[in-house]
Amino acid sequence: MNILLLGSGGREHALAWKIAASPLVEKLYCAPGNAGIAREAEIVSLDMSDHAAVIAFCNTNKIALVVVGPEAPLCDGLVDALTAAGIKAFGPTRDAARLEGSKGFTKDLCRANAIPTAAYERFTSAGPAKDYIHTQGAPIVVKADGLAAGKGVTVATTVEEACAAVDALFDEDATAQIVVEEFLSGEEASFFVLCDGKHAMPLASAQDHKRAFDGDKGPNTGGMGAYSPAPIVTPDIVARVMETIIHPTLHAMEAMGAPYKGVLYAGLILTTEGPKLIEYNVRFGDPECQVLMLRLMSDLVPALIASCDGVLANFDLRWYPDAALTVVMAAKGYPGPYAKGGFIDNLDDAGALEGVEIFHAGTTSDKGRVIAAGGRVLDVCATGKTIAEAQTRAYAAVDAIRWPGGFCRRDIGARAV
């Protein structure tokens, strides 16, 4: 079968790497791709927002399955357009993708269905939001309602910081909606399930590191590293999350006529009262996808098809027992302003180290040399018998890469180790 993968980040490189290994795949295309994905797939020029062009490409190239990586085209209804054209697509519809596209929608769904989450209120102007913050006190969390690439959240330690975050969001967009919610204490974890509209199958657990700098300092980012499995996600936690969060969400989405198909990523916090939902994402996490794909023993493609076809009830996946860890190498300045264009050398030698796999997140190439072309640029991954061994191998590879314009955290996996 021919498959089209949409996206250009490290998540998509990991998916391309895993999909290309399937014996079911005759031809894998990717748009827009990156320098690493080009080793796994034929890169094609397609604008994901041009639904007609994507459909025309699928028809011309006999595409049997489209895998949509990022959240923006899902929230834009690309899966709806492909499905209407008779093309199988992995991912939720526009209505189902509201679970990520609107934090307010998800919070309201949680409230209506007794799904454990932080107390909150929604606001469409700054004044009432700041009044609420003054009443509640700090610490408190301020979130943009819509898509923000993992960076539209301020965990404010003072009332003044929270009010400044509110002003910043409304200064950027006067018509914005925001959510202000209770600060919850506990350890965070990433919880992934494959869904087919009615059924959900949990995947391996993972934890990521959102802050830019060591010790969880600095601004939030799209993710600076991750590891799997997450020791804190015990079988009991899995059962509780499925019962109190995932299943009620799927039932609610089906009841409102928007059954959820695809991968559902629940950002959790494990509190003294049990697991609570921080927020949903409607796609694989990045960089969690990278460690999940390294640990997945089974062929990914049949699982994606089973999700599309609504037949996950009797499906299963097998996982390698080894741990996996990824370190994100980002351009200096990220998540703020950063420079593009620097050369990255010695990737082949770094990737040849035992247990190491390097996924590209923001790269291009020129005459065989890899060039940094984004904020998060490389995902340096490794497997090992333990998280500590995977960590040691990943950082050995990081140290072998020559890229003066890059930086990374040096403590990925420290909580587990």
pTM recorded for the entire structure: 0.95
Residue 171, phi then psi, degrees to nearest 5: -65, -35
119-182 has which CATH code?
3.30.1490.20
Residue 220 scores a pLDDT above 90 = no
Does 187-309 carry CATH code 3.40.50.12780? Answer: no
Q: Which of 103-107, 150-154, 239-243, 326-330 has the lowest mean pLDDT?
A: 150-154
pLDDT of 415 reads: 86
More confident site: 172 or 91 = 91
pLDDT classification of 402: cutoffs 50, 70, 90: very high
Terminal CA-to-CA distance of the chain, rounded, Å?
42
> Would the pLDDT of 222 be above 70?
yes
Contact status, residue 249 vs residue 105, Cβ threshold 8 Å: no
User: What local confidence, expressed as pLDDT, does residue 115 receive?
Assistant: 98
Taking 80 as the threshold, does the pLDDT of residue 252 lie above it? yes
Is it the case that residue 334 has pLDDT exceeding 90?
A: yes
- Domain 323-407 has what CATH class? alpha beta
User: Tokens standing for 280?
Assistant: 């949903």
* Topology of domain 2-93, CATH: Rossmann fold (3.40.50)
Where helices occur in 114-267 by DSSP H, the ranges are 126-136, 159-172, 235-241, 247-255
Torsion of CA 346, 349, 350, 351, to 10 degrees: 120
Percent of the chain with pLDDT over 70: 99
pLDDT digits (tens, 9 = 90+) for 18-64: 999 999 999 999 999 999 999 999 999 999 999 999 999 999 999 99
Q: How far is CA 238 from CA 205, 209, 218, 268, in A?
A: 9, 21, 30, 11
Domain boundaries, the chain: 2-93, 119-182, 187-309, 323-407
